[in-house]
Amino acid sequence: MSDNSSKTKLRAERFVTASNSGVAALYTASDLKSPDMFAAGQGNPGEYPYTRGVHPTMYRSQFWTMRQYAGFATAEESNARYRYLLDHGQTGLSVAFDLPTQIGYDSDSDNAVGEVGKVGVAIDTLADMEILLKGIPLDKISTSMTINASAGVLLAMYIAVGEKQGISSDKLRGTIQNDILKEYIARGTYIFPPRPSMRLITDIFAFCKEKVPQWNTISISGYHIREAGSTAAEEVGFTLANGIAYVQAAVDAGLDVDDFAPRLSFFFNAFTDLLEEVGKFRAARRLWAKIMRERFGAKNPKSLMLRFHTQTAGSTLTAQQPDNNIVRVTVQALAAVLGGTQSLHTNSRDEALALPSEESARIALRTQQIIAHESGVAETVDPLAGSYYVEATTDRIEKEAAELIAKIDDLGGVVPAIEQGFIQASIQKSAYSYQQDIESGKRIIVGVNKFTVSEPPLKGLLRVSRTVEENQIQKLTQIKAARDNTRVQQALDSLQKAAESNANLMPYILEAVRAYGSVGEICNTLRKVFGEYKEHVVL
């Protein structure tokens, strides 16, 4: 390098990733943990430890599932949106539920006032689920449901709708998020304390193994951990630590690891720092494979595979210059595809302002389709493998995540780590640092702290009508009047007795659902036995 070039003035902002990790000017083989990155199966997709992908051919055989997350207002309106997206090429459903449904309240509850149908669709009874899925063949479409504390109830409703369509439960395909630990850490839509919540999860594992074998019984979520402000390594470390807790709970409940582990799935965030995100996905696969083989003795190769859904980063969307969000989402979606995701949701440009409009939802779906059919990145498996930077980033994130898992082990596991505030404090520290960098100008957010303009408000925003809540309550009242209330009460009484014993609760929940017992009635029955979780404030 000449003297003149060595004195070149560098940019003012720091050279760091979105996770605040320093970036070198140049990466070489000396930066890799093992310069022979392709030794011992490391370089082959579909082989342990799956760094390069869980399938040998990846997208050359089949594109990722384009699964746009949607749901708002009533079951009728959400059904219309699902059918619109399917007509425009979406290949799987992803259901968003409103807050009352997520935390086990009916639309007529005092706790639901002002929230019915706002951030997702309102589901009170099986009648709503029947409308939500009307005209959608459940034996041909896989469905993901973002539901956690009340996951067993919504899964039971899905099974019951399948029965009414003449489809047996062993033909149903899909995923419930069912990840309660991250609710205590980062999101807050919990109902019961951790231990009975873990019982519900393992009951679902066991029930689905026998009755719904194609269902992914949990989607262990790093997405919300990242949205709360974690770094990439914290997203991987805390998510896989939660995964360890679920596997251990199932093993402790008497399940064989290879009986349920193949149906575990994960849910990650895709940030705008493209190359760091690719390394993150690769590191997560490799680390999980090692955990399952070395820690739990899993022997089925499918038990070792980290399969994951990705959603682009909602926290990066800006209300300022919302069309910029289309570009952000494109970069984030590329990171997910280059990192080997199994399914993908792309956020809409207007989500910092409102629920996605129909036009914005179509643009978000088209973003995936253009990446799939026009960009060329799906033509080969793990196209960035061999990049010194990507390989070094993969090594770094794996190491940092493993250290976090070891720290959680030292604290006694995830539940004690949550109770002691370790995980929450780590995320809060990272979030604060990131925000400080934005406010100081060290980190540029286009249209927010640089390249700003005055602009008119975005037109065509979707607003949920104030009549939704009133109409939903009226519908629920009619259902409760028309159903066999004796049958409902008997089902709820049986559920309560089962909760007081060690019985698997899913058959009892399913019977209450078939009788048109409501989400609130079922969850309140369990509240009588389990109580409610109250957040521990860590000062």
Q: Would you state the torsion angle of the CA atoms of residues 253, 259, 261, 262, taken in this order, to the nearest 10 degrees? A: -160
Q: Say if CB 526 and CB 497 are below 8 A apart.
A: no
Per-residue 3-state assignment (H helix, E strand, C coil) for 49-92: CCCCCCCCCHHHCCCCEECCEECCECHHHHHHHHHHHHHCCCCC
Q: Say if CB 420 and CB 411 are below 8 A apart.
A: yes
Q: Is the dihedral of CA 458, 116, 265, 17 positive or negative?
A: positive
Neighbouring residues of 500: CB distance < 8 A, sequence distance ≥ 6: 529
- Spans of the chain, pLDDT less than 50: 1-6, 39-41, 539
Kindly state whether residue 320 falls inside one of the protein's structural domains: yes
Q: Are residues 251 and 398 in the same domain?
A: yes
For residue 509, give its domain range. 468-530
Q: Are residues 472 and 324 in the same domain?
A: no
Q: Are residues 411 and 492 in the same domain?
A: no
Q: What is the pLDDT of residue 309?
A: 95
350 phi, psi to nearest 5 deg: -100, 10
Q: Are residues 472 and 518 in the same domain?
A: yes
Q: Are residues 379 and 494 in the same domain?
A: no
Around Cβ 315, how many Cβ atoms within 10 Å? 14
Q: What is the pLDDT of residue 31?
A: 83
Q: Are residues 497 and 417 in the same domain?
A: no
Is this prediction's pTM over 0.85? yes
User: Where do runs of H (alpha helix) occur along 349-419?
Assistant: 358-374, 388-410, 414-419
Kindly state whether residue 126 falls inside one of the protein's structural domains: no
Kindly state whether residue 150 falls inside one of the protein's structural domains: yes
**Count of structural domains within the chain:** 2
Q: What is the pLDDT of residue 77?
A: 94
Kindly state whether residue 508 falls inside one of the protein's structural domains: yes
| Largest separation between any pair of C-alpha atoms in the chain | 88
Q: Are residues 472 and 399 in the same domain?
A: no
Q: Are residues 178 and 222 in the same domain?
A: yes
Q: Are residues 352 and 490 in the same domain?
A: no
Q: Are residues 520 and 479 in the same domain?
A: yes
Q: Are residues 475 and 327 in the same domain?
A: no
Kindly state whether residue 91 falls inside one of the protein's structural domains: no
pLDDT over 90, % of the chain: 86
Neighbouring residues of 263: CB distance < 8 A, sequence distance ≥ 6: 205, 208, 209, 213, 215, 216, 217, 218
Kindly state whether residue 87 falls inside one of the protein's structural domains: no
Give the CATH number, domain containing residue 228: 3.20.20.240
Helix (H, G, I), strand (E, B) or coil at 434: helix
Q: What is the pLDDT of residue 35?
A: 58
Kindly state whether residue 143 falls inside one of the protein's structural domains: yes
Q: What is the pLDDT of residue 2?
A: 43
Last residue of a domain, one of 402, 421, 440: 440
Last residue of a domain, one of 420, 440, 460: 440
Q: Are residues 210 and 169 in the same domain?
A: yes
Kindly state whether residue 34 falls inside one of the protein's structural domains: yes
Indicate left, alpha or beta for 376 from its phi (over 0: left) and psi (-120 to 50: alpha): left
